[in-house]
Every structure is written in C-alpha cells, then in structure tokens.
Amino acid sequence: MGDRLRVLILEDRASDAELVADALRRSGLEFTWKRVDRESEYLAALEDKPDVVLADFKVPGFGALDALDATRAQGSDVPVIIITGSLGDEIAAECIKRGASDYLIKDRLSRLGAAVEKVLEHKRLREEARRADEELRDSESLKSAILESSLDGLVTIDHQGKIVEFNPAAEAMFGISRERALGQSMAELIIPPRLREAHHRGLAHYLATGEGPVLGKRLELEAIRADGMEFPVELAITPIRSRSTSLFTGCIRDITKRKEAETKIVRLNRVYAVLSGINGLLVRVRDRDELYRDACRIAVEAGEFRLAWLGVVDREAMQIRPVAWHGAGEDYIQLMPLGLDETTPEGRGLAGRALRERKAMIADDMAKDPRVLLNKEALERGFRSLVILPLVVSEEAVGVLALYATEVGFFDDEEMKLLLELAGDISFALDHIGKEEKLDYLAYYDALTGLANATLFRDRVDQHVHDAGRTQRKLAVLLIDVDRFKTINDTLGRHAGDEILKQTGKRLTRYCGDPGHLARIGADRFAMVMPDVETEQEVARRTEENLRGCFGEPYWVNDTELRIAARFGIALFPNDGADADELFRNAEAALKKAKAGGERYLFYTQQMTERIAERLALESKLRRALERQEFVLHYQPKFDAQTQRIEGVEALIRWQSPELGLVPPMQFIPLLEETGLIFEVGAWALRQAAFDYRRWQKLGLAAPRVAVNVSAFQLRRRDFVESVQSVLGEGAGAAAIDLELTESLIMEDIRGSIEKLEALRMLGVEIAIDDFGTGYSSLAYLAKLPVQTLKIDRSFIITMLGDPSVMTLVSTIVSMAHSMRLKVVAEGVDSEDQVSALKKLGCDQLQGYLFSKPVSFDEMTVLLGSRT
C-alpha cells in the first residue's frame, strides 16, 4: 500500500480495539492506529486527517451514527466503516444513508482488510474524478480566456463548414456579431466569391482522405468584411480532433497595415535606387546632355516610373524645352502645356508653376486633379500620379524633372524627401558643369601628358570627398614621385625627361582605367584618386599592381633602355583628412617618409602600412596554402540526446601551416572572405566533406551526415547553387551533405534565400539554420524556409542554467521548431547539467566539448568505429 495507513478506531473497550487491529494485521496491511471513545477525542483526531475510521456502533454517549454526523459536519471525506455485534437491515440502511462506507459484524472481521482497501480505493477514485472535473472546468475557462483575449480572429467551423465559434477579435475584424455568425456558412460569410470553390474542395478532400496541404501552414489571401470590402489576411488552419465530428479552427490576422508597409518599402526602395544611380552618374558625367538622358533612364529603369522627362528653360521663347525623356507615353510630352507666361493657357500648367514658384508640384490623382489639363490622355497612358521637381542653380530655376507613377498617391512625404534630394543633386551637377564650361580648358590640363593639372585634380578630389561623405564610403589619394627624374633630365636632356613623363602618364592611364582619376601636379610628380574603396588592403593591392604595371617594364627613350622606379604616398578619406587639401598634405607627408625610408609606398600612418603589410603577407600564405593543400577538415560529432548515438558531424576548416602551425579559423576566415578566396576554399571544403563521407562508407562504418558551413559571400553569389552542384556532382544527396547558414545571413535576402535553398533541397542537400536566436527572424518567413534543422546558439546554452529568461527562450525555440517539424541541435554543450536540462526540453541532438572537441578525420574514424 505504500506509506502506512493511519487508522482511527472509535471503541469504548480496549480489548475490542486490539481485536480490530489484529484483524487488520492479518490482512497484511501496514498501519498505525489510535483508539478514542469520546466525542472531543474523536473530533481532535479528525484534525490529523486519518485515512479510515473504524467505529463501534454502540459506544456509550458517542456511537457510530454520532461519529458519522460529526465527520460530515467537519467537511471531512474520510471513509467510516461501522463494526457491531449485530445489525438489522433498517439500522444498516440508516448507517449507509448517514454516509457510512461499509459495515461489518464483529465475529466476521476476516474481511476487514478487504473492506478497508475497497473503501480507500473508492475514495481514490472519487478524488480522481473530482480532479478531472476541476481540470475540465479549468480547460473550459482557459479556452474561453484565449478566445476572449486573442488579438487575432479565431473562427471554428464544423465538417459542414458552419461556424461554431467566433471570438471578439473576429467580430471586430469582420464587422459581424458572434450571434449572427454562429451557424452560418463561413464561405458565404467571410470568403470572397472567387475563393469559395477552392475552400469547398479543400474541406471535402480533407474529410475524404484526412489530408490537407494547407493545414499547419501560414497563408496570405483575401477576406471580406460585412460591408463587402476585401482586405488581406494571414491565415493558419488547424484541424481539431473530436469524437463526434471534425472541427477546424482558423487563426486570422488582418495584415492590411503590413501590406501597406511592404508596399511603401518597395516604393521607397525604388526611389532610393534612383537616388543611388544618379549619385553615381554625377561623379562620372561631365556633359549636360548625357546627364539629362541618363537621369531620365535611371528614373524609369531603377525607379520603375512610367515616364520621366527633363526640360530646361528657354527664356527667349518663354517655354520649357524638353531635352531628354524615357519610358512609355513619350508622345504625351508633345501635348503638354509648357509655357512660362501664366497669363496664357499654356503657362498655367504644373511645369510652369513649378518653375515660377521654385517648388515641387504634386498631383496625387491625375484623373481628379483640376490642375492637370490632360486628364484623359494621362489615364490612357497609365499615368495616375505626377511630381514636377524644379532644378535650381544659384537661386534660379533652370529646368524641371517630371516623374509619372502608375499608383495613385505615390508621392507622399517620405518619397518627396528623397526626390527633393535627387533634384538638388541634379542641380548641383548642372551647377558644376556650368562652372567647368566657364573655365579655359587648358587651364585645367597638363599640356605634356594630357592629364588634369593640380587645380582640376583638387576640384575633382573635393567632388569625390563630397560624394564619399554623403554615401559614407572611403577613397584614397595617392601622390607618385618618379625616382631619378632630375638625373635623367641632366644626363639625357629635357626631351628625354619629357618622354619619360609622357610614357608614365600613358601607363598610369592604362592601369588606372579612368583618366579623370589622374593628374600631373609637378615636374616629376603625379597624383591619383581611388574612389569607392572598401579597405586599406584593397588600396595596397591596387598600388602594388600599379607599381608592377607602370614601372616593372623598362622605358625606352631614343633607343636607350631606362629602368624607372617610383614612390607612392597614400592618404585615406575620412581617416587622414576631411577635404582635398588635408588629404594632399598627408599624402605628401607619407611620400616624404617613403622616399626617406626607401619604401615603395607608404600610408600616412606607419602603423597602417605595417598592418597592411602583415595582411598582404598572410594573404600570400593563404594563396600558397590553397595550392599546397594545407587546409584540413576537422569534425565535431552531433549526438542523439536520448540514445547518445552519433547522428551527424560538423566539418570545420583548419589551416595547418608549416610556418605558423595550426592557425585558428578567426585569424584567416575573414581574410579568405575579404580576398575572395573563400569561394575556392568553400568549394574545397564541400568536395573534401563529400570525399570523407564516402571514405567512411568504404570502411564499412555508419557514415553520419556531414554539415558544412556556408559564408555570406558564398550564398550571395548568383551561381551559388550551381557551384554546389558542380562540387558535389549529380549524387549530392548520396553524399549526405548538409549546409549550415546563419540566421542573420538568410534574413538578408529572404526571398532570394528561399529560392536558393529550395534548389539545394532538390539536389538532396539538407539545410540547417546556425546560431539560431542571435538574429532577427520573421516567423512567417521561417515557416516558409525549406530547412530541416535549427541550431541553438552556444551563448544561450552556456547561460540558460543561470538565467531563467534564457531557459524560457531555449524552451520556446525547441517547442516552436518541433511545431514546424524541425530538428533542434544545441551547440556548445559542456556540462551534464546542460544535458539534463536539454533532454527535458526535448532537444534532439547535442554538440559540444562535453562529448567531443573537433577532431581529425582519422580520430573521427576511430570514434565512429568504437560507436559501431
């Protein structure tokens, strides 16, 4: 029976009480007992909550019936068994009526033990029934609370499609009361007519087969309100198992605002694309007509405007003269009123008003705006809204840029902020071109080399600095000094010196690519600007290339071969200067140090030069490492949380350098990514993982699936899927290769990621999301991702035992993953306490130093053999 029973015996004779106790002992029960024969003692003993009361029917002053009344008066549910010498039927009936559980004759105590066990079993069953009833009431209360408090609409239908539940959120969403909705056909009430047939087919299919392709998934579609208006919703349908009938609950969320926000983001991205494209255009274009044409082209191609045209002011004709256009409906331009005299009908158009008032003119709905004089013609060409932006140079409006959108109300405050910046940039470019045209061309160019002179080059650097500051990019200014130029002049004559300068200018132009980035700024000195550079290492590599290309081969002057060398001084924006003058001064200082120290090139900061030299040396070692096959794969196993079997391994790249030893990944992986070597090394890692997998198979081992990490640079490539297929061949699936990608990487381009991952799944490759929980995932998108596994980041595993909030997060991730039918792997497991907690949470696989550190192929082979 487990713990000892506590028995209370109501008996005035001690000998009779002993007989009762002996009878209980003979039945094999273990118990403690207490005898009482007065009411006060009995009531006090009830406070100790005995398991059973054995009451003599005829105790003087307080018999069994009194005991029954007192027991029920106290609210106690302790079972009472009456024991008496003789008991008639009427008295027995009265005892049972008063609440006695059973009654026995004193000379038949042999069945006392069985009677006690029976009444205790009845008591236990009553308690279980009471608890079940309470749980049912709690469940109903919980259901009611969920329905009432849910922010999403919850609609439940039966097998006939009739609504059986309709919560307050659904009432508010659809504008339909619960009383009206209950019993109605959901399809007729809230589903648009064009979707009803699909709904009926899906319901019939599920009822017939038990299968429903849309169940458990999040769908985006349209619903209708009581007023007949359609609106977008996100829907998840869950079947509810019932004994009597099939029920389905739909969780419905109104995503109107989200769709509006997504549309707005798309629109803003279009305008950003135009702004970015024209900013790039302004840096390189020095011709008005080219600026006009390309600005309109970029507006249509990048901004997806229906039509863009640009016009300039003709003061003599008092007209706006269109000079460039792009897009559909170009003939519309010929119909427009483009006069500047507001006293005439032609002068009352929006273009003229924009110029006169030097203010943007917006028509949110061209069909209804009375200022638009060609409403019908605009609608025929698909124009719905319009903005005309004045181009202002030196406080004077010199032209307009007109943009036509296919959406009504396209040009709200946020778009206009960007478009006004765009108009300002074009105006700035026009101002710059105008100033250039006013200057004498020869005053800005070196007659000997044809390159820009110091004045023009400084202006250009200022422009580059302005653009780089606005776009938050880097640029480099390089000063180049030709060695021994004075000696050549003195020895071979000025003509030879001039020839050396001409050839140097040509070589620099050939290797630099854009003459606009070069200048001759002194007798033997050149300058170069490198815009849009990413890193100091990139500048160093390009400088090395320039040195080899320009000064590696000999120069020929009058059949004389001359070896020419040069020194470079380099300053970077914004680190070494905020304007052209400061950059020139610091590049000059770097050049002097380079000449004094015999360096081929030197950055303004010596420490930067040393650091870059280190990086370049390491880059060379990495290239040699790839050629000499110095990279190796180590494997860290993943164990089944319950069986402790090895379910998979993660391939981790290591560099076994003869000079540096085993180099940690963080010291070389970033450089691989920066130099582009990650593509070759990543392909090698995939090939090697597939090769090692097949080696384990040939050894007769149960080869586990091999997971290979994918870097951001690999996934972003358009040909990433093709490169994986090329490396693994047609039998990718046979090699049991998984790819691990970080959560933040996938979310960078969610739609592109889904497309690529689905293509990989077709190859038989499985996908895991690594470091899950450290990024930002939309659950709506997560449900759509073709992934099979989530790996919880080790930072959560390490801290979960000491931080309840982290433990809750880990539990939530596991539950969410399992609800999506995903496996969960915990990384960084290093203690038995973590293992115990993760098992309780239902984690599928464990990985960490507690089980095994990353080991070589041979060590992994031994481990697989021992497990087998």
Q: What is the pLDDT of residues 782-833, one digit of tens each?
A: 777 888 999 998 889 999 999 999 999 999 989 988 988 999 999 999 999 9
Which residue, 625, 741, 735, 742, is CA-closest to 689? 735
pLDDT at 731: 46
pLDDT at 233: 87
Tell me if residue 836 falls in helix, strand or coil.
Answer: helix
pLDDT of 244 above 80: no
| CATH number of the domain where residue 70 is located | 3.40.50.2300
| One domain for residues 701 and 755 | yes
* Residue 618 falls inside a structural domain: no
Give the end of a domain, one of 549, 572, 604.
Answer: 604
What is the C-alpha separation between 478 and 518, in angstroms, rounded? 9
Per-residue model confidence as pLDDT tens digits over 144-159: 555 555 668 888 888 8
* Residue 136 falls inside a structural domain: no
What is the C-alpha separation between 216 and 230, in angstroms, rounded? 24
| One domain for residues 316 and 378 | yes
pLDDT of 713 above 50: yes
What is the C-alpha separation between 238 and 206, in angstroms, rounded? 12
Instruction: Provide φ and ψ at 530, rounded to 5°.
Output: -115, 100
**Contact present, 467 and 283 (Cβ < 8 Å):** yes
Specify the DSSP element, H or E, that contains 471. Answer: helix 454-471
| CATH number of the domain where residue 542 is located | 3.30.70.270
Per-residue model confidence as pLDDT tens digits over 41-87: 888 888 888 888 888 888 888 888 888 888 888 878 888 888 877 66
CA 306-308-313 angle, to 5 degrees, is 155
What is the C-alpha separation between 644 and 863, in angstroms, rounded? 13
| CATH number of the domain where residue 744 is located | 3.20.20.450
75 sits in the region (left: phi over 0; alpha: psi -120 to 50; else beta) called left
| One domain for residues 693 and 838 | yes
| One domain for residues 503 and 593 | yes
Per-residue model confidence as pLDDT tens digits over 580-599: 898 998 888 888 888 877 78
What is the C-alpha separation between 475 and 463, in angstroms, rounded? 11
pLDDT of 711 above 60: yes
pLDDT at 445: 85
| One domain for residues 279 and 242 | no
| CATH number of the domain where residue 164 is located | 3.30.450.20
Which residue, 198, 51, 213, 48, is CA-closest to 116? 51
* Residue 725 falls inside a structural domain: yes
| One domain for residues 445 and 433 | no
* Residue 514 falls inside a structural domain: yes
What is the C-alpha separation between 648 and 638, in angstroms, rounded? 5
pLDDT at 635: 95
Give the end of a domain, one of 221, 254, 287.
Answer: 254
pLDDT at 781: 67
What is the C-alpha separation between 522 and 548, in angstroms, rounded? 22
**Contact present, 410 and 267 (Cβ < 8 Å):** yes
What is the C-alpha separation between 724 and 274, in angstroms, rounded? 35
Which residue, 794, 778, 767, is CA-closest to 705? 767
Tokens, residue 725: 């297929």
Q: Give this prediction's pTM.
A: 0.39
Q: Which residue carries 């009803």 as its tokens?
A: 196
Which residue, 803, 809, 738, is CA-closest to 774? 809
**Worst-scoring range by mean pLDDT, 27-31, 142-146, 245-249, 567-571?**
142-146
Per-residue model confidence as pLDDT tens digits over 470-516: 888 899 999 999 888 888 887 888 888 888 889 988 988 888 767 88
* Residue 518 falls inside a structural domain: yes
Tokens, residue 859: 């060590």
| One domain for residues 514 and 644 | no
Percent of the chain with pLDDT over 70: 92
* Residue 614 falls inside a structural domain: no
Specify the DSSP element, H or E, that contains 238. Answer: strand 230-240
| One domain for residues 765 and 797 | yes
Q: Give me the mean pLDDT over the 395-417 stretch.
A: 85
Q: Which residues pair with 314 in a beta bridge?
A: 319
| One domain for residues 385 and 511 | no
| One domain for residues 379 and 306 | yes
**Contact present, 112 and 23 (Cβ < 8 Å):** yes
| One domain for residues 122 and 158 | no
Give the end of a domain, one of 98, 129, 160.
Answer: 129
Which residue, 631, 621, 499, is CA-closest to 557? 499
Any residues with CB less than 8 A from the CB of 290 and at least 6 apart, and which? none
**Contact present, 415 and 271 (Cβ < 8 Å):** yes
Higher-confidence position of 368 and 264 = 368
Specify the DSSP element, H or E, that contains 134. Answer: helix 112-149
Range of the structural domain that residue 88 is part of: 5-129
What is the C-alpha separation between 11 and 803, in angstroms, rounded? 59
Any residues with CB less than 8 A from the CB of 332 and at least 6 apart, and which? 307, 374, 377, 378, 381, 383
Per-residue model confidence as pLDDT tens digits over 717-771: 888 888 888 877 754 445 688 999 887 777 777 778 888 888 888 888 898 988 7
Alpha helices in 565-699 (DSSP H): 580-597, 606-627, 665-675, 677-698
Tell me if residue 265 falls in helix, strand or coil.
Answer: helix
Give 438: exposed, middle or buried? Use CB within 10 Å, 0-12, 13-18, 19+.
Answer: exposed
Percent of the chain with pLDDT over 90: 15
Q: What share of the chain is helix, strand, coil (3-state, %, to 5)?
A: 50, 25, 25
Domain total of the chain: 5
**Contact present, 155 and 170 (Cβ < 8 Å):** yes
* Residue 390 falls inside a structural domain: yes
pLDDT of 88 above 70: no
Strands 631-640 and 845-846: antiparallel
Q: Which residues pair with 529 in a beta bridge?
A: 477
Which residue, 128, 526, 513, 484, is CA-closest to 284? 513
Strands 31-36 and 5-10: parallel
| One domain for residues 457 and 562 | yes
* Residue 616 falls inside a structural domain: no
Alpha helices in 286-340 (DSSP H): 288-301, 331-335
Strands 601-603 and 566-573: parallel
pLDDT at 397: 87
pLDDT at 733: 47
